[in-house]
Structure 1
Amino acid sequence: MLQGRDENKLVNTDKESQLFAPQGSFYKDIAEKMVETGVCVDLFLFPNAPVDLATIGTVAGTTGGDTLFYPNFAAPKDGYRFQEDLKRLLQREFGFEGVMRIRCSDGLRVVEHFGNFHMRNATDVELAGIDSEKALAVQLGHTGALDEKLNCVFQCALLYTRSDGQRRIRVHNLSVPATSVMGNLFRYADMDTCVNYLLKAAMAEAMTTSLKSVGDQLTDKCVRVLAAYRKHCAAASSPGQYFGVDTLEAIDASMTTIPHVDSPLSHKLQAIVAYIQSRRARHLALRIVRQQLDPSEMEFAALLVEDKNNDHMSYVDYLCHVHRQIQTEVSTT
């Protein structure tokens, strides 16, 4: 039986990480048995009261599944989103009983893995289920000096079973040059990959430390990266009618899709929404928020990262904060 957690006593304390740790090993043990038998679990949660997702979510996290969360579910508001999420999960290509291993050339080693999977040893990543929308992150470390005359070579091998029962192996090989030129490092870095890695590492860190500390560590990493760019690269760089109604009051705020209106602006809006949906692994719920009319405006405002909300800095204030730290970092190195 899961016990209720007193969040108010733990939030913003050194013990805050306990909120993200599972209670006991029951669900973890079940998940590991599922991995052994090739069972992948997707969780659909429709809570109207607090739910211990940190505990029951272990089943999906360990087996390589997804957790889809619909708080205060209401069919008119969330039904279409649930329908699209379920349809996507049932129709996508899927593999079972996956085992993945990352190999790298001399001078490099795999330090850590991040994502939803199970590992019984230090090298094999076990995935009871795998699809094209899963993303894993790997941290690499140096075991010695790299020769710039030789490329660094990586191999990702995935053994899995297709839905028709065929056992297959997919191998990706990557060869990249080593460099000591900082400008080349920044020029060829993939920002999406870097952000993905930083977020996955931060989520893992949140299991053992407070969210404030995790946020401070992320800021510190950003400062060091940007300070290195300024110090080594900056000098060489060049400077550089939607709804078919006349008033906000006439818009139906309960709509879950945007109506098709024969106007250039409507066509552009439809295209933007379709593009964003196509880039996401899960269907994004559409919420209509009318300014100074809907109670959900406060909820929407809390998501505007460029504005100051509660105790958090606005985006501009945060940039100034990072800028000051960069200046300090540069002046002390």
Structure 2
Amino acid sequence: IDCDKTIMVTLKHDDKLHEGSECAFQCALLYTTVYGQRRIRVSTLSLSCTNMLSNLFRSADLDTQFACLLKQAANEIPSAPLAQVRDQATNVCINILYSYRKYCATVTSSSGQLILPEALKLLPLYTLALLKSTGLRSDGRIDDRSFWISNVSPLPTPSVIPLVFPRMIAIHDLDDKDESDDSIIPSHIPLSSEHITDEGIYLLENGEDCLIYVGNSAQPNILQQLFGVSSLEEISNQFVLQEFENPLSKKLNAVVNEIRRQRCSYLRFKLCKKGDASGMMFFSYMVEDKLSSGLSYVEYLVHIHRQIQSKMP
């Protein structure tokens, strides 16, 4: 156990909690320091109690809820059919949104509209990404799935969502970034092939791997600035990011260093090209597309909505 591990616990209580009162959660960890000293670290969290379900949804922590959903799925994979685990993940999402629709949505809300709580509006997207992840995709290899289970089980909460829903940015036009924007990393691009062009160069990172996808028609001058070569064929498959004496290369390195700082990971770089195995791996992360491993995002939202409607009286 270290600072990069997360332990998930399911609690059940029988006492009645009163509106406005506080409920405390406390855990104690007995451990040994690197110097052989035995210590106990006690952590306490106090939360306000409420009888209003709307307050619960308003204060929902999406990152933590999704981390629990992912870890529960990983725990079920060894003992249950994969299709059942996938259905359970979707059903959790459906039941959460159904409860919000039934108990919290306004009377004037249209029954033909999918109502999402503001704090959990990305839950369907992340759930779909989970279904298409290495651990739950139906066409995955057993070895890859086993590694995925061991990797995600202790994963810290901030690292969970990026692992299944990576961040993708365009790096061929970093020079066009709005100077008034103080952020080092530009706005991310939706994980859909619709937003990828043959002329573009893209960076996709999930906190562990950093994929650089180079389109077949990328401009030679951009390739020269970023990689020191004038054609895609000249880029070595053993890709190592270098910094060259030009603004575009310096901006790319600044972006990568900021990502490393945020993720606390140096990242494994992989070059991806269209038409080979590396390109297929890159496009497997396009979770909003319709893939062999599942529905498109729009289709999944329609499915979620229909299931909620079928539950409504």
TM-score by structure 2 length? 0.56
**Residue segments in structure 1 that go unaligned for 5+ positions in a row:** 1-129
- In structure 1, the residue matched to 2:257 is 274
Q: Does 1:318 align with 2:296?
A: no
1:325 deviates by: 1.6
Give, as a single letter, the amino acid of the residue that structure 2 aligns with 1:304: M
Which residue pairs with 2:273 in the alignment? 290
Task: Give the AA of the match of 2:236.
Answer: D
Aligned to 1:243: 227
1:223 Cα deviation after fit: 0.9
Residue 227 and residue 245 in structure 1: after superposition, are their counterparts in 2 closer, same or farther (change >3 A)?
A: farther
Name the structure 2 match of 1:88.
Answer: none
Deviates more, 1:170-179 or 1:241-250: 241-250
Distance in 1 of aligned mates of 2:268 and 2:232: 20
- For residue 200 of structure 1, give the secondary structure of its aligned residue in structure 2: helix
Please provide the CA RMSD for this pair. 2.7
Count of residues in correspondence between the two structures: 199
Number of the residue aligned with 2:13: 142
Deviation at 1:262, TM superposition (A): 4.2
Partners in 2 of 1:133 and 1:281 — Cα distance?
10
* 2:256 counterpart letter in structure 1: V
How far off is 1:246 after superposition?
3.7
What does 1:43-62 correspond to in 2, within 5 Å? none
8 Å CA contact retained: 2:274, 2:280: no
C-alpha separation in 2, matches of 1:305 and 1:287: 19
SS at structure 1 position matched to 2:241: coil
> Percent same amino acid among aligned pairs?
44
What is residue 291 of structure 2 aligned with on the other side?
309
TM-score, normalised via structure 1 length: 0.53
Shift of 1:314: 2.3
Q: Of residues 6, 29, 32 in structure 2, which corresponds to 1:158? A: 29
Match of 2:3 in 1: 132
Q: Whose radius of gyration is greater, 1 or 2?
A: 1
3-state secondary structure, aligned to 2:272 = coil
Q: Are 1:177 and 2:159 an aligned pair?
A: no
Cα–Cα, structure 1 residues 155 and 311, in superposed 2: closer, same or farther, change >3 Å? closer
Distance 1:146 1:233 in 2: 20
C-alpha distance in 1, partners of 2:301/2:43? 38
Contact 1:157 1:171 in 2 (8 A): yes
Deviation at 1:196, TM superposition (A): 1.1
Structure 1 residues 265 and 190 mapped into 2: Cα distance closer, same or farther (>3 Å)? farther
Residue 39 of structure 2 is aligned to residue 168 of structure 1:
yes
